[in-house]
C-alpha cells in the first residue's frame, strides 16, 4: 500500500475519494488474515494525526487533541477502540447494505455526532454541520461518524467498490464505473506481475 510520513507516523495515502472510506482504509488488508501489522491507527496520537491528514479536523484542533490524549491516556484509548469499532461496522455495511447490526452501530455513533453538531455558515453562505472543539477527546470518533453519515446519505454510497487485489480490500469511489483497483500503481501493477508470472509458469510447463 502507498503511505506517507505525517508528523513522524506512516499514514496511508488517501485513495478512497471520501473521508469515510479513508477511515476504512486505515486497516491494511481487509481480505487478509488479521494481524497487528495491518493497523495504521495503533494509538490515539496516530488517530488524531490521521484526522488532520484527511482534513476531518484542523491542525489546531489536532494539536489540542494530541495534548489532551497525553494527559488522559485511558479516555483517549477508549475513543481509539470506539473508532476502530465504527470503522469495522462501516466497512461491513458499505459492502452489505443488509447488515442491520453494522448499520445500527454506525447510526448510533452518527446520532451522537448529530447531537452535538452546530450548523454554521461559511463566507459563501453555505451551511455545514460542525463539531465544536469543546467536545474534547471524542472528536475523532464523532468526526468519523459524521463523515460516515455524509457518505451513507448521498448517492455516492452506491459508487463504493472494494479493491479485489489479494490482501487488500480497500474501498474507493468508482464514479465513472471504470475504476477497478484502489491504486493502479500498487495493487493493479502487482496483479499484472502475478498474472505474468503465472503465464510464464504455464509456458515452461508446456515445454
- What pLDDT, on a 0 to 100 scale, did the predictor assign at position 190? 64
Place of cell 475504476: 179
Please give the distance of CA 176 from its chain centroid, rounded to a whole number.
21
Per-domain residue ranges of the chain? 3-206
C-alpha cell at 161: 467498490
Going from the first residue of the chain to its last (207 residues), give the mean pLDDT of each consecutive group of 10, the final group possibly shorter: 88 95 92 81 98 96 98 98 98 96 98 96 89 96 98 96 89 93 82 46 51
Task: Identify the pLDDT of residue 200.
Answer: 43
Sequence-distant (≥ 6) Cβ neighbours of residue 15 within 8 angstroms: 2, 22, 25, 170, 172, 182, 183
pLDDT value at residue 195: 45
What's the pLDDT at 157? 95
Q: Do the Cβ atoms of 110 and 101 come closer than 8 Å?
A: no
Tell me the whole-structure pTM to 2 decimals.
0.88
What pLDDT is stored for residue 123 in this prediction? 85
What is the SS3 string spanning the chain?
CCEEEECCEEEECCCCCCHHHHHHCCECCCCCCCCHHHECCCCHHHHHHHHHHCCCCCHHHHHHHHHHHHHCHHHHHHHHHHHHHHHHHHHHHHHCCCCHHHHHHHHHHHHHHHHHCEEEECCCCCEEEECCHHHCCCHHHHHHHHHHHHHHCCHHHHHEEECCCCCCCCEEECCCCCCCCCCHHHHHHHHHHHHHHHHHHHHHHHC
- Residue 194, pLDDT score: 53
The CATH number for 3-206, chosen from 3.40.50.300, 1.20.1050.140, 1.10.3300.10, 3.40.50.10140, is 1.10.3300.10
Distance of CA 151 to the CA centre of its chain: 12
Amino acid at each position: 500500500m502507498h503511505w506517507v510520513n505525517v508528523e513522524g507516523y506512516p499514514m496511508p495515502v488517501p485513495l478512497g475519494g471520501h473521508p469515510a472510506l479513508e477511515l476504512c482504509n486505515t486497516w491494511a488488508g481487509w481480505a487478509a488474515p488479521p494481524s497487528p501489522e495491518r493497523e495504521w491507527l495503533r494509538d490515539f496520537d496516530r488517530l488524531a494525526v490521521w484526522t488532520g491528514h484527511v482534513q476531518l479536523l484542523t491542525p489546531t484542533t489536532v494539536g489540542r487533541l494530541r495534548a489532551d490524549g497525553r494527559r488522559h491516556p485511558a479516555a483517549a484509548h477508549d475513543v481509539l477502540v470506539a473508532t476502530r469499532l465504527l470503522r469495522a461496522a462501516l466497512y461491513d455495511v458499505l459492502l452489505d447494505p443488509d447488515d442491520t447490526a453494522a448499520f445500527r452501530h454506525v447510526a448510533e455513533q452518527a446520532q451522537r455526532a448529530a447531537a452535538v453538531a452546530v450548523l454554521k455558515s461559511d463566507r459563501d453562505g453555505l451551511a455545514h454541520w460542525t463539531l465544536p472543539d469543546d467536545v474534547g477527546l471524542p472528536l475523532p470518533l464523532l468526526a468519523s461518524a459524521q463523515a460516515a453519515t455524509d457518505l451513507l446519505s448521498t448517492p455516492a454510497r452506491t459508487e463504493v467498490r472494494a479493491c479485489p487485489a489479494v490482501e487488500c480490500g480497500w474501498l474507493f469511489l468508482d464514479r465513472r464505473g471504470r475504476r477497478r483497483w484502489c491504486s493502479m500503481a500498487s495493487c493493479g501493477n502487482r496483479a499484472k506481475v502475478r498474472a505474468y508470472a503465472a503465464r510464464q509458469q504455464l509456458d515452461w510447463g508446456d515445454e
